[in-house]
Structure 1
Amino acid sequence: MERPLFELPGIPVRDRCAVMGILNVTPDSFSDGGRWRDPGRAVEHGLQLAAMGADVVDVGGESTRPGACRIPAEDELARVLPVVRALARQGVPVSIDTMRARVAQAAVDAGARIVNDVSGGLADRAMARTVARSGVPFVVMHWRGQSRAMDELADYDDVVTEVVGEVRCRMDALVSAGMDPQQIVVDPGLGFAKGRRDDWTLLASLDAWAALGRPLLVGPSRKRFLGELLSDPATGEFRPARERDAATAATAALAAAQGAWAVRVHEVGAVADAVRVEAALRAHRRTSI
Protein backbone atom coordinates (compact mmCIF):
# COMPACT_ATOMS: atom_id res chain seq x y z
CA MET A 1 0.00 0.00 0.00
CA GLU A 2 1.05 3.61 -0.51
CA ARG A 3 2.52 5.10 2.63
CA PRO A 4 0.85 8.28 3.90
CA LEU A 5 3.36 11.00 4.78
CA PHE A 6 2.69 12.90 8.00
CA GLU A 7 4.33 16.08 9.19
CA LEU A 8 4.75 16.00 12.96
CA PRO A 9 6.21 18.96 14.86
CA GLY A 10 9.97 18.54 15.17
CA ILE A 11 10.07 15.08 13.52
CA PRO A 12 11.57 14.45 10.05
CA VAL A 13 9.24 13.10 7.36
CA ARG A 14 10.39 9.68 6.10
CA ASP A 15 9.23 7.52 3.22
CA ARG A 16 9.56 4.44 5.42
CA CYS A 17 8.36 3.21 8.76
CA ALA A 18 10.30 4.84 11.61
CA VAL A 19 11.86 2.80 14.40
CA MET A 20 11.37 3.77 18.04
CA GLY A 21 13.87 2.06 20.33
CA ILE A 22 12.74 1.17 23.85
CA LEU A 23 14.90 2.28 26.78
CA ASN A 24 13.37 1.19 30.08
CA VAL A 25 15.17 2.73 33.06
CA THR A 26 13.14 0.59 35.44
CA PRO A 27 13.81 -2.37 37.74
CA ASP A 28 10.69 -4.31 36.74
CA SER A 29 9.83 -3.99 33.03
CA PHE A 30 8.68 -7.30 31.61
CA SER A 31 11.69 -8.25 29.46
CA ASP A 32 14.58 -5.96 30.40
CA GLY A 33 13.83 -4.62 33.87
CA GLY A 34 16.97 -3.54 35.69
CA ARG A 35 19.35 -3.79 32.71
CA TRP A 36 19.50 -0.03 32.14
CA ARG A 37 18.62 1.27 35.59
CA ASP A 38 22.02 2.92 36.03
CA PRO A 39 21.89 6.30 34.22
CA GLY A 40 25.32 5.90 32.67
CA ARG A 41 24.50 2.48 31.26
CA ALA A 42 21.12 3.75 30.11
CA VAL A 43 22.67 6.63 28.17
CA GLU A 44 25.22 4.28 26.63
CA HIS A 45 22.44 1.92 25.55
CA GLY A 46 20.39 4.80 24.14
CA LEU A 47 23.36 5.84 22.01
CA GLN A 48 23.73 2.23 20.86
CA LEU A 49 20.05 2.12 19.86
CA ALA A 50 20.51 5.29 17.80
CA ALA A 51 23.64 3.86 16.17
CA MET A 52 21.76 0.67 15.27
CA GLY A 53 19.07 2.64 13.46
CA ALA A 54 16.57 3.93 16.01
CA ASP A 55 14.99 7.13 14.72
CA VAL A 56 13.70 7.89 18.23
CA VAL A 57 14.71 6.52 21.64
CA ASP A 58 11.71 6.11 23.96
CA VAL A 59 12.74 6.56 27.61
CA GLY A 60 10.42 5.18 30.28
CA GLY A 61 10.77 5.19 34.06
CA GLU A 62 7.59 3.36 35.11
CA SER A 63 6.78 -0.21 34.13
CA THR A 64 3.41 -0.79 32.45
CA ARG A 65 3.72 -4.58 32.30
CA PRO A 66 0.60 -6.55 33.26
CA GLY A 67 0.13 -6.39 37.02
CA ALA A 68 2.53 -3.48 37.57
CA CYS A 69 1.74 -0.93 40.29
CA ARG A 70 2.28 2.83 40.08
CA ILE A 71 5.41 4.47 41.49
CA PRO A 72 5.81 7.97 42.98
CA ALA A 73 6.33 10.79 40.48
CA GLU A 74 9.59 11.75 42.19
CA ASP A 75 11.01 8.28 41.50
CA GLU A 76 9.97 8.43 37.87
CA LEU A 77 11.53 11.88 37.43
CA ALA A 78 14.79 10.77 39.06
CA ARG A 79 15.02 7.82 36.70
CA VAL A 80 14.26 9.50 33.38
CA LEU A 81 15.49 13.10 33.48
CA PRO A 82 19.28 12.45 33.56
CA VAL A 83 18.90 10.02 30.65
CA VAL A 84 16.63 12.25 28.55
CA ARG A 85 18.88 15.25 29.11
CA ALA A 86 22.12 13.40 28.25
CA LEU A 87 20.73 11.79 25.09
CA ALA A 88 19.15 15.02 23.87
CA ARG A 89 22.43 16.88 24.38
CA GLN A 90 24.11 14.35 22.10
CA GLY A 91 21.55 14.89 19.36
CA VAL A 92 19.45 11.76 19.88
CA PRO A 93 15.72 12.31 19.22
CA VAL A 94 14.05 11.29 22.49
CA SER A 95 10.51 10.34 23.40
CA ILE A 96 9.29 10.26 27.00
CA ASP A 97 7.09 7.29 27.93
CA THR A 98 4.96 8.55 30.81
CA MET A 99 1.38 8.86 32.06
CA ARG A 100 2.13 11.96 34.15
CA ALA A 101 1.87 15.55 32.90
CA ARG A 102 4.52 16.66 35.38
CA VAL A 103 7.02 14.14 34.04
CA ALA A 104 6.10 14.93 30.43
CA GLN A 105 6.72 18.65 30.93
CA ALA A 106 10.04 18.10 32.72
CA ALA A 107 11.20 15.72 29.99
CA VAL A 108 10.23 18.13 27.20
CA ASP A 109 12.11 20.87 29.04
CA ALA A 110 15.10 18.48 29.13
CA GLY A 111 14.93 17.93 25.36
CA ALA A 112 12.31 15.23 24.65
CA ARG A 113 10.58 15.68 21.30
CA ILE A 114 7.60 13.31 21.75
CA VAL A 115 5.33 12.41 24.67
CA ASN A 116 4.24 8.76 24.56
CA ASP A 117 1.37 8.19 27.01
CA VAL A 118 0.04 4.61 27.20
CA SER A 119 -3.13 5.97 28.81
CA GLY A 120 -3.76 8.46 26.01
CA GLY A 121 -4.17 11.22 28.57
CA LEU A 122 -6.69 9.37 30.74
CA ALA A 123 -4.39 8.73 33.71
CA ASP A 124 -3.64 12.44 34.25
CA ARG A 125 -6.23 14.99 33.18
CA ALA A 126 -3.57 17.69 33.05
CA MET A 127 -1.72 15.85 30.27
CA ALA A 128 -3.76 17.28 27.38
CA ARG A 129 -3.20 20.90 28.38
CA THR A 130 0.46 20.28 29.15
CA VAL A 131 1.21 18.70 25.79
CA ALA A 132 -0.93 21.22 23.94
CA ARG A 133 1.21 24.03 25.38
CA SER A 134 4.45 22.21 24.53
CA GLY A 135 3.49 21.66 20.89
CA VAL A 136 5.28 18.28 20.69
CA PRO A 137 3.71 15.15 19.15
CA PHE A 138 1.59 13.08 21.53
CA VAL A 139 1.05 9.32 21.24
CA VAL A 140 -2.52 8.36 22.14
CA MET A 141 -2.53 4.66 22.93
CA HIS A 142 -5.71 2.64 23.42
CA TRP A 143 -6.07 2.06 27.16
CA ARG A 144 -8.86 0.90 29.44
CA GLY A 145 -7.21 0.94 32.85
CA GLN A 146 -4.07 0.60 34.94
CA SER A 147 -1.74 -2.36 34.45
CA ARG A 148 -2.66 -4.07 37.71
CA ALA A 149 -6.15 -4.91 36.38
CA MET A 150 -6.01 -4.40 32.62
CA ASP A 151 -6.34 -8.08 31.68
CA GLU A 152 -9.81 -8.05 33.25
CA LEU A 153 -10.85 -5.32 30.80
CA ALA A 154 -10.18 -7.30 27.61
CA ASP A 155 -13.83 -7.79 26.66
CA TYR A 156 -14.84 -6.96 23.07
CA ASP A 157 -17.59 -7.82 20.61
CA ASP A 158 -15.67 -6.33 17.67
CA VAL A 159 -12.16 -5.46 18.83
CA VAL A 160 -11.15 -3.44 15.76
CA THR A 161 -14.29 -1.28 15.67
CA GLU A 162 -14.28 -0.75 19.44
CA VAL A 163 -10.58 0.04 19.80
CA VAL A 164 -10.53 2.45 16.85
CA GLY A 165 -13.73 4.08 18.13
CA GLU A 166 -12.38 4.50 21.66
CA VAL A 167 -9.20 6.10 20.34
CA ARG A 168 -11.28 8.41 18.16
CA CYS A 169 -13.14 9.52 21.29
CA ARG A 170 -9.83 10.20 23.04
CA MET A 171 -8.66 12.27 20.08
CA ASP A 172 -11.84 14.34 20.20
CA ALA A 173 -11.42 14.91 23.93
CA LEU A 174 -7.80 15.97 23.52
CA VAL A 175 -8.65 18.42 20.76
CA SER A 176 -11.48 19.83 22.89
CA ALA A 177 -8.90 20.34 25.67
CA GLY A 178 -6.78 22.46 23.33
CA MET A 179 -4.46 20.01 21.57
CA ASP A 180 -3.73 20.57 17.88
CA PRO A 181 -4.88 17.49 15.89
CA GLN A 182 -1.56 17.65 14.02
CA GLN A 183 0.23 16.68 17.27
CA ILE A 184 -1.59 13.37 17.59
CA VAL A 185 -0.17 9.89 16.88
CA VAL A 186 -2.38 6.85 17.51
CA ASP A 187 -1.46 3.41 18.89
CA PRO A 188 -3.74 0.33 19.11
CA GLY A 189 -2.12 -0.74 22.40
CA LEU A 190 -1.21 -4.34 21.64
CA GLY A 191 -1.21 -6.33 24.87
CA PHE A 192 -2.96 -3.62 26.89
CA ALA A 193 -6.43 -4.86 27.89
CA LYS A 194 -6.20 -7.25 24.92
CA GLY A 195 -6.34 -11.01 24.70
CA ARG A 196 -3.86 -12.63 22.37
CA ARG A 197 -6.54 -13.23 19.73
CA ASP A 198 -7.38 -9.53 19.98
CA ASP A 199 -3.75 -8.63 19.27
CA TRP A 200 -3.69 -10.76 16.12
CA THR A 201 -7.00 -9.33 14.93
CA LEU A 202 -5.76 -5.77 15.40
CA LEU A 203 -2.49 -6.54 13.59
CA ALA A 204 -4.43 -8.00 10.67
CA SER A 205 -6.56 -4.86 10.42
CA LEU A 206 -4.12 -1.95 10.69
CA ASP A 207 -5.65 -0.43 7.57
CA ALA A 208 -8.71 0.43 9.69
CA TRP A 209 -6.66 3.13 11.43
CA ALA A 210 -6.39 5.16 8.22
CA ALA A 211 -9.91 6.41 8.96
CA LEU A 212 -8.48 8.50 11.83
CA GLY A 213 -6.13 10.32 9.47
CA ARG A 214 -3.21 10.28 11.91
CA PRO A 215 0.17 8.49 12.07
CA LEU A 216 0.03 4.98 13.51
CA LEU A 217 2.55 3.67 16.04
CA VAL A 218 2.57 -0.10 16.60
CA GLY A 219 4.29 -1.74 19.60
CA PRO A 220 4.59 -5.52 19.08
CA SER A 221 7.96 -6.00 20.76
CA ARG A 222 8.34 -9.24 22.74
CA LYS A 223 4.60 -9.25 23.53
CA ARG A 224 2.74 -12.23 24.95
CA PHE A 225 0.94 -13.04 21.70
CA LEU A 226 4.34 -13.74 20.12
CA GLY A 227 5.44 -15.78 23.13
CA GLU A 228 2.33 -17.93 22.77
CA LEU A 229 2.82 -18.36 19.02
CA LEU A 230 6.38 -19.58 19.62
CA SER A 231 5.50 -21.88 22.53
CA ASP A 232 7.56 -25.00 23.11
CA PRO A 233 5.64 -27.75 21.28
CA ALA A 234 6.51 -30.30 23.95
CA THR A 235 5.72 -28.32 27.10
CA GLY A 236 3.49 -25.52 25.89
CA GLU A 237 5.67 -22.99 27.72
CA PHE A 238 5.76 -19.56 26.13
CA ARG A 239 8.99 -18.52 24.39
CA PRO A 240 10.90 -16.26 26.84
CA ALA A 241 10.47 -12.56 26.15
CA ARG A 242 14.07 -11.89 25.09
CA GLU A 243 13.89 -14.76 22.57
CA ARG A 244 11.04 -13.16 20.61
CA ASP A 245 13.07 -10.60 18.68
CA ALA A 246 13.06 -12.39 15.31
CA ALA A 247 9.26 -12.64 15.49
CA THR A 248 9.14 -8.98 16.52
CA ALA A 249 11.13 -8.00 13.42
CA ALA A 250 8.77 -9.99 11.19
CA THR A 251 5.76 -8.35 12.83
CA ALA A 252 7.33 -4.91 12.43
CA ALA A 253 7.84 -5.47 8.70
CA LEU A 254 4.20 -6.54 8.35
CA ALA A 255 3.06 -3.44 10.25
CA ALA A 256 5.22 -1.27 8.00
CA ALA A 257 3.66 -2.88 4.93
CA GLN A 258 0.23 -1.90 6.28
CA GLY A 259 1.27 1.76 6.54
CA ALA A 260 2.45 2.07 10.15
CA TRP A 261 4.25 5.36 10.75
CA ALA A 262 6.54 3.77 13.36
CA VAL A 263 7.16 0.59 15.32
CA ARG A 264 8.34 0.53 18.93
CA VAL A 265 10.85 -2.25 19.71
CA HIS A 266 13.53 -3.38 22.14
CA GLU A 267 16.02 -4.86 19.66
CA VAL A 268 16.53 -2.19 17.01
CA GLY A 269 19.08 -3.60 14.55
CA ALA A 270 17.01 -6.28 12.84
CA VAL A 271 13.90 -4.12 12.81
CA ALA A 272 15.76 -1.19 11.24
CA ASP A 273 16.83 -3.57 8.47
CA ALA A 274 13.33 -5.03 8.12
CA VAL A 275 11.58 -1.69 7.62
CA ARG A 276 14.18 -0.68 5.04
CA VAL A 277 13.54 -3.90 3.13
CA GLU A 278 9.81 -3.15 3.19
CA ALA A 279 10.42 0.40 1.93
CA ALA A 280 12.70 -0.81 -0.87
CA LEU A 281 10.16 -3.38 -2.01
CA ARG A 282 7.39 -0.79 -2.01
CA ALA A 283 9.55 1.63 -4.01
CA HIS A 284 10.38 -1.11 -6.52
CA ARG A 285 6.70 -1.88 -6.98
CA ARG A 286 6.00 1.77 -7.76
CA THR A 287 8.75 2.01 -10.37
CA SER A 288 7.78 -1.33 -11.93
CA ILE A 289 4.20 -0.33 -12.67
Structure 2
Amino acid sequence: MIIAVQDVPGDALDRLTRPRADVAGLAMDRPHIMGILNATPDSFSDGGVHNSVSAAQSAAEQMVSQDATILDIGGESTRPGATFVPEDEEIARTRPLIEAIKSRTDVLISIDTRKFAVAKAAWEAGAGLINDVTGFTFDPQLAPFCAKVGAPVCVMHMQGDPGTMQDNPTYEDVLLDVYDFLDGQLDRLENLGLDRDQIIIDPGIGFGKTEAHNLALLQGISLFHGLGCPILLGVSRKGMIGQIGKEPRKDARAPGSIAVGLAGLSQGVQILRVHDVAETAQALRLWAAVR
Protein backbone atom coordinates (compact mmCIF):
# COMPACT_ATOMS: atom_id res chain seq x y z
CA MET A 1 0.00 0.00 0.00
CA ILE A 2 1.29 3.47 -0.89
CA ILE A 3 0.39 6.34 1.44
CA ALA A 4 1.11 10.06 1.55
CA VAL A 5 4.10 11.28 3.55
CA GLN A 6 1.87 13.10 6.02
CA ASP A 7 0.15 9.80 6.81
CA VAL A 8 3.33 7.90 7.67
CA PRO A 9 3.41 7.03 11.40
CA GLY A 10 5.87 9.12 13.38
CA ASP A 11 8.15 6.27 14.39
CA ALA A 12 8.38 5.00 10.81
CA LEU A 13 9.13 8.47 9.49
CA ASP A 14 11.83 8.91 12.13
CA ARG A 15 13.54 5.69 11.06
CA LEU A 16 13.49 6.82 7.46
CA THR A 17 14.84 10.31 8.01
CA ARG A 18 17.13 10.39 11.04
CA PRO A 19 20.89 10.38 10.41
CA ARG A 20 22.45 6.95 10.85
CA ALA A 21 24.70 6.60 13.87
CA ASP A 22 28.35 5.61 13.57
CA VAL A 23 28.71 1.82 13.49
CA ALA A 24 31.83 0.27 15.02
CA GLY A 25 33.48 3.68 14.78
CA LEU A 26 32.64 4.26 11.10
CA ALA A 27 30.57 7.29 10.14
CA MET A 28 27.54 6.27 8.09
CA ASP A 29 27.19 9.66 6.39
CA ARG A 30 29.33 8.45 3.48
CA PRO A 31 29.72 5.17 1.56
CA HIS A 32 32.13 2.50 2.74
CA ILE A 33 33.90 -0.32 0.94
CA MET A 34 34.04 -3.70 2.64
CA GLY A 35 36.82 -5.81 1.13
CA ILE A 36 36.19 -9.56 0.90
CA LEU A 37 38.94 -11.80 2.23
CA ASN A 38 38.07 -15.48 2.23
CA ALA A 39 40.41 -17.88 4.02
CA THR A 40 38.76 -20.84 2.30
CA PRO A 41 39.71 -23.38 -0.36
CA ASP A 42 36.31 -23.36 -2.05
CA SER A 43 34.73 -19.90 -2.11
CA PHE A 44 33.10 -19.29 -5.48
CA SER A 45 35.45 -16.54 -6.67
CA ASP A 46 38.61 -16.45 -4.56
CA GLY A 47 38.79 -19.90 -2.98
CA GLY A 48 42.37 -20.94 -2.29
CA VAL A 49 43.84 -17.53 -3.18
CA HIS A 50 44.52 -16.61 0.45
CA ASN A 51 45.54 -20.04 1.70
CA SER A 52 48.30 -18.78 3.99
CA VAL A 53 48.35 -16.10 6.66
CA SER A 54 51.10 -14.20 4.86
CA ALA A 55 49.19 -14.17 1.55
CA ALA A 56 45.98 -13.10 3.24
CA GLN A 57 47.73 -10.43 5.30
CA SER A 58 49.34 -9.01 2.18
CA ALA A 59 45.95 -8.92 0.45
CA ALA A 60 44.41 -7.23 3.48
CA GLU A 61 47.05 -4.52 3.57
CA GLN A 62 46.60 -3.91 -0.13
CA MET A 63 42.82 -3.53 0.28
CA VAL A 64 43.30 -1.04 3.10
CA SER A 65 45.74 0.97 0.96
CA GLN A 66 43.07 0.98 -1.78
CA ASP A 67 40.51 2.59 0.61
CA ALA A 68 38.67 -0.38 2.07
CA THR A 69 37.44 0.70 5.52
CA ILE A 70 36.17 -2.77 6.50
CA LEU A 71 37.62 -6.22 5.83
CA ASP A 72 35.20 -9.16 5.88
CA ILE A 73 37.07 -12.32 6.89
CA GLY A 74 35.41 -15.66 6.15
CA GLY A 75 36.45 -19.23 6.88
CA GLU A 76 33.44 -21.08 5.49
CA SER A 77 32.22 -20.78 1.92
CA THR A 78 28.58 -19.78 1.52
CA ARG A 79 28.45 -20.27 -2.24
CA PRO A 80 25.50 -22.32 -3.56
CA GLY A 81 26.07 -25.99 -2.74
CA ALA A 82 28.79 -25.30 -0.15
CA THR A 83 29.30 -27.85 2.62
CA PHE A 84 29.46 -27.30 6.37
CA VAL A 85 32.86 -26.50 7.94
CA PRO A 86 33.49 -27.63 11.55
CA GLU A 87 33.95 -24.83 14.08
CA ASP A 88 37.55 -25.71 14.98
CA GLU A 89 38.57 -25.68 11.33
CA GLU A 90 36.84 -22.36 10.69
CA ILE A 91 38.56 -20.85 13.73
CA ALA A 92 41.93 -22.17 12.57
CA ARG A 93 41.40 -20.45 9.22
CA THR A 94 40.27 -17.08 10.56
CA ARG A 95 41.71 -16.32 14.00
CA PRO A 96 45.41 -16.27 12.99
CA LEU A 97 44.57 -14.04 10.06
CA ILE A 98 42.64 -11.57 12.21
CA GLU A 99 45.48 -11.45 14.71
CA ALA A 100 48.01 -10.85 11.94
CA ILE A 101 45.98 -8.04 10.36
CA LYS A 102 45.32 -6.34 13.70
CA SER A 103 49.04 -6.40 14.46
CA ARG A 104 49.67 -4.20 11.41
CA THR A 105 46.56 -2.04 10.98
CA ASP A 106 43.56 -0.77 12.91
CA VAL A 107 41.08 -1.38 10.08
CA LEU A 108 37.65 -2.62 11.13
CA ILE A 109 37.48 -6.39 10.74
CA SER A 110 34.20 -8.19 10.21
CA ILE A 111 33.97 -11.93 10.86
CA ASP A 112 31.71 -13.61 8.32
CA THR A 113 30.30 -16.54 10.29
CA ARG A 114 27.08 -18.12 11.48
CA LYS A 115 28.65 -19.87 14.49
CA PHE A 116 29.00 -18.67 18.07
CA ALA A 117 32.38 -20.30 18.74
CA VAL A 118 33.90 -18.80 15.60
CA ALA A 119 32.51 -15.34 16.34
CA LYS A 120 33.77 -15.50 19.93
CA ALA A 121 37.30 -16.47 18.82
CA ALA A 122 37.28 -13.73 16.18
CA TRP A 123 36.00 -11.10 18.61
CA GLU A 124 38.74 -12.00 21.09
CA ALA A 125 41.30 -11.77 18.27
CA GLY A 126 40.24 -8.23 17.40
CA ALA A 127 37.22 -8.41 15.07
CA GLY A 128 34.81 -5.51 15.55
CA LEU A 129 31.73 -6.65 13.61
CA ILE A 130 29.83 -9.97 13.43
CA ASN A 131 28.36 -10.66 9.98
CA ASP A 132 25.90 -13.58 10.00
CA VAL A 133 24.59 -14.65 6.60
CA THR A 134 21.73 -16.53 8.27
CA GLY A 135 20.49 -13.42 10.05
CA PHE A 136 21.11 -15.01 13.46
CA THR A 137 18.87 -18.00 12.82
CA PHE A 138 21.52 -20.76 12.73
CA ASP A 139 23.25 -20.76 16.11
CA PRO A 140 21.05 -19.84 19.11
CA GLN A 141 24.11 -18.79 21.13
CA LEU A 142 25.36 -16.21 18.66
CA ALA A 143 22.88 -13.35 19.12
CA PRO A 144 23.01 -13.47 22.96
CA PHE A 145 26.81 -13.41 22.77
CA CYS A 146 26.75 -10.32 20.54
CA ALA A 147 24.37 -8.62 22.93
CA LYS A 148 26.53 -9.53 25.93
CA VAL A 149 29.75 -8.08 24.51
CA GLY A 150 28.04 -5.22 22.66
CA ALA A 151 29.26 -6.33 19.25
CA PRO A 152 27.99 -4.44 16.19
CA VAL A 153 26.36 -6.91 13.80
CA CYS A 154 25.19 -7.36 10.22
CA VAL A 155 21.93 -9.24 9.74
CA MET A 156 21.50 -10.83 6.32
CA HIS A 157 18.54 -12.58 4.76
CA MET A 158 19.01 -16.05 3.31
CA GLN A 159 16.28 -18.50 2.35
CA GLY A 160 17.44 -22.02 3.21
CA ASP A 161 21.14 -22.77 3.70
CA PRO A 162 24.14 -22.67 1.35
CA GLY A 163 23.69 -26.32 0.41
CA THR A 164 20.06 -25.93 -0.68
CA MET A 165 19.27 -22.24 -1.05
CA GLN A 166 19.19 -22.20 -4.84
CA ASP A 167 17.10 -25.37 -5.29
CA ASN A 168 13.75 -23.60 -5.73
CA PRO A 169 13.56 -20.25 -3.90
CA THR A 170 10.02 -18.89 -3.75
CA TYR A 171 8.43 -15.77 -2.26
CA GLU A 172 4.99 -14.22 -2.18
CA ASP A 173 6.63 -10.81 -2.63
CA VAL A 174 10.41 -10.94 -2.30
CA LEU A 175 10.83 -7.28 -1.35
CA LEU A 176 8.22 -7.39 1.41
CA ASP A 177 9.13 -10.91 2.56
CA VAL A 178 12.78 -9.98 3.04
CA TYR A 179 11.78 -6.71 4.72
CA ASP A 180 9.51 -8.55 7.16
CA PHE A 181 12.23 -11.07 8.01
CA LEU A 182 14.78 -8.35 8.73
CA ASP A 183 12.23 -6.35 10.72
CA GLY A 184 11.48 -9.38 12.88
CA GLN A 185 15.14 -10.12 13.48
CA LEU A 186 15.83 -6.51 14.41
CA ASP A 187 13.07 -6.66 17.03
CA ARG A 188 14.51 -9.93 18.36
CA LEU A 189 18.02 -8.54 18.59
CA GLU A 190 16.80 -5.37 20.30
CA ASN A 191 14.90 -7.48 22.85
CA LEU A 192 18.16 -9.28 23.61
CA GLY A 193 19.82 -5.95 24.33
CA LEU A 194 21.51 -5.06 21.04
CA ASP A 195 21.37 -1.39 20.09
CA ARG A 196 19.60 -0.90 16.74
CA ASP A 197 22.10 1.85 15.98
CA GLN A 198 24.81 -0.85 15.87
CA ILE A 199 22.98 -3.15 13.44
CA ILE A 200 23.58 -3.27 9.67
CA ILE A 201 21.11 -5.01 7.37
CA ASP A 202 21.77 -6.93 4.16
CA PRO A 203 18.97 -8.18 1.85
CA GLY A 204 21.19 -11.09 0.78
CA ILE A 205 21.45 -10.80 -2.98
CA GLY A 206 21.96 -14.28 -4.44
CA PHE A 207 21.19 -16.14 -1.21
CA GLY A 208 18.08 -18.16 -1.94
CA LYS A 209 16.97 -15.88 -4.78
CA THR A 210 16.48 -16.16 -8.49
CA GLU A 211 17.68 -13.51 -10.92
CA ALA A 212 14.19 -11.99 -10.88
CA HIS A 213 14.21 -11.89 -7.07
CA ASN A 214 17.62 -10.21 -7.05
CA LEU A 215 16.53 -7.56 -9.54
CA ALA A 216 13.37 -6.83 -7.56
CA LEU A 217 15.42 -6.34 -4.39
CA LEU A 218 17.92 -4.09 -6.18
CA GLN A 219 15.19 -2.00 -7.78
CA GLY A 220 13.47 -1.46 -4.44
CA ILE A 221 16.38 -1.53 -2.02
CA SER A 222 15.60 1.96 -0.72
CA LEU A 223 12.57 0.40 1.02
CA PHE A 224 14.94 -1.04 3.63
CA HIS A 225 15.81 2.44 4.92
CA GLY A 226 12.48 2.13 6.73
CA LEU A 227 14.17 -0.26 9.14
CA GLY A 228 16.37 2.56 10.44
CA CYS A 229 19.71 0.80 9.89
CA PRO A 230 22.60 1.16 7.44
CA ILE A 231 22.29 -1.10 4.39
CA LEU A 232 25.04 -3.37 3.11
CA LEU A 233 24.92 -4.53 -0.51
CA GLY A 234 26.90 -7.57 -1.63
CA VAL A 235 26.68 -8.30 -5.36
CA SER A 236 30.36 -8.59 -6.22
CA ARG A 237 31.09 -11.13 -8.99
CA LYS A 238 27.85 -13.02 -8.30
CA GLY A 239 26.05 -15.23 -10.78
CA MET A 240 23.57 -12.57 -11.87
CA ILE A 241 26.49 -10.29 -12.79
CA GLY A 242 27.85 -13.00 -15.05
CA GLN A 243 24.47 -13.90 -16.52
CA ILE A 244 23.23 -10.41 -17.29
CA GLY A 245 26.69 -9.07 -18.09
CA LYS A 246 27.55 -12.10 -20.26
CA GLU A 247 30.82 -12.72 -18.44
CA PRO A 248 31.52 -16.34 -17.41
CA ARG A 249 34.86 -15.48 -15.76
CA LYS A 250 34.25 -14.61 -12.12
CA ASP A 251 37.36 -12.46 -11.78
CA ALA A 252 36.35 -10.38 -14.84
CA ARG A 253 33.04 -9.15 -13.39
CA ALA A 254 34.26 -5.93 -11.79
CA PRO A 255 32.49 -3.63 -14.30
CA GLY A 256 29.10 -5.26 -13.76
CA SER A 257 29.61 -5.46 -10.00
CA ILE A 258 30.48 -1.77 -9.86
CA ALA A 259 27.49 -0.79 -12.00
CA VAL A 260 25.09 -2.51 -9.62
CA GLY A 261 26.93 -1.15 -6.59
CA LEU A 262 26.64 2.43 -7.81
CA ALA A 263 22.95 1.90 -8.50
CA GLY A 264 22.63 0.83 -4.86
CA LEU A 265 24.54 3.88 -3.64
CA SER A 266 22.12 6.06 -5.61
CA GLN A 267 19.36 4.60 -3.43
CA GLY A 268 21.28 5.40 -0.26
CA VAL A 269 23.11 2.14 0.43
CA GLN A 270 25.96 2.80 2.86
CA ILE A 271 28.29 -0.20 2.42
CA LEU A 272 29.43 -2.12 -0.67
CA ARG A 273 30.94 -5.58 -0.05
CA VAL A 274 33.37 -6.22 -2.92
CA HIS A 275 36.27 -8.29 -4.21
CA ASP A 276 37.67 -5.55 -6.47
CA VAL A 277 38.49 -2.80 -3.99
CA ALA A 278 40.70 -0.53 -6.11
CA GLU A 279 38.30 -0.49 -9.07
CA THR A 280 35.30 0.13 -6.81
CA ALA A 281 37.07 2.93 -4.95
CA GLN A 282 37.94 4.66 -8.21
CA ALA A 283 34.33 4.42 -9.38
CA LEU A 284 33.04 5.66 -6.04
CA ARG A 285 35.31 8.72 -6.11
CA LEU A 286 34.01 9.68 -9.56
CA TRP A 287 30.41 8.93 -8.55
CA ALA A 288 30.80 11.24 -5.54
CA ALA A 289 32.47 13.97 -7.57
CA VAL A 290 29.71 14.24 -10.18
CA ARG A 291 27.06 14.30 -7.47
Answer whether TM exceeds 0.5 for this pair: yes
Give the distance between the partners of 2:95 and 2:81, measured in 1 at CA. 25
Find the counterpart in structure 1 of residue 26 from structure 2. Answer: 12
Please say if residues 196 and 225 of structure 1, whose CA atoms lie closer than 8 Å, have aligned partners that are also in contact: yes
SS at structure 1 position matched to 2:167: helix
Deviation of the 1:131 alpha carbon: 0.8
Please say if residues 104 and 115 of structure 1, whose CA atoms lie closer than 8 Å, have aligned partners that are also in contact: yes
SS at structure 2 position matched to 1:167: helix
1:206 equivalenced with 2:215 (yes/no)? no
1:77 equivalenced with 2:86 (yes/no)? no
Find the counterpart in structure 2 of residue 186 from structure 1. Answer: 201
Find the counterpart in structure 2 of residue 62 from structure 1. Answer: 76
Please say if residues 17 and 261 of structure 1, whose CA atoms lie closer than 8 Å, have aligned partners that are also in contact: yes
Deviation of the 1:70 alpha carbon: 0.6
Give the distance between the partners of 2:271 and 2:126, measured in 1 at CA. 20
1:260 equivalenced with 2:273 (yes/no)? no
Deviation of the 1:220 alpha carbon: 0.6
Please say if residues 28 and 230 of structure 2, whose CA atoms lie closer than 8 Å, have aligned partners that are also in contact: no
Which residue identity is paired with 1:180?
D
* Stretches of structure 1 lacking an aligned partner (at least 5 in a row): 232-237, 283-289
Find the counterpart in structure 2 of residue 228 from structure 1. Answer: 243
Find the counterpart in structure 1 of residue 129 from structure 2. Answer: 114
Give the distance between the partners of 1:147 and 1:158, measured in 2 at CA. 22
Which residue identity is paired with 2:227?
L
Please say if residues 101 and 124 of structure 1, whose CA atoms lie closer than 8 Å, have aligned partners that are also in contact: yes
State the Cα RMSD in Å: 1.6
Which residue identity is paired with 1:266?
H
Give the distance between the partners of 1:4 and 1:222, measured in 2 at CA. 33
Which residue identity is paired with 1:19?
I
Please say if residues 24 and 108 of structure 2, whose CA atoms lie closer than 8 Å, have aligned partners that are also in contact: no
Residues 134 and 226 (structure 1 numbering): CA distance in 2 closer, same or farther, change over 3 Å?
same
Which residue identity is paired with 1:61?
G
SS at structure 2 position matched to 1:147: coil
* Stretches of structure 2 lacking an aligned partner (at least 5 in a row): 1-15
SS at structure 2 position matched to 1:21: strand
Find the counterpart in structure 1 of residue 190 from structure 2. Answer: 175
Residues 183 and 281 (structure 1 numbering): CA distance in 2 closer, same or farther, change over 3 Å?
same
SS at structure 1 position matched to 2:273: strand
Deviation of the 1:177 alpha carbon: 2.5
Please say if residues 21 and 268 of structure 1, whose CA atoms lie closer than 8 Å, have aligned partners that are also in contact: yes
| Aligned residue runs from structure 1 range 118-197, under 5 A | 118-197=133-212
Which residue identity is paired with 1:126?
Q
SS at structure 2 position matched to 1:58: strand
Residues 132 and 26 (structure 1 numbering): CA distance in 2 closer, same or farther, change over 3 Å?
same
Find the counterpart in structure 2 of residue 272 from structure 1. Answer: 281
Range moving further from structure 2, 130-139 or 64-73: 130-139
Which residue identity is paired with 1:164?
Y
Give the distance between the partners of 1:278 and 1:123, measured in 2 at CA. 38
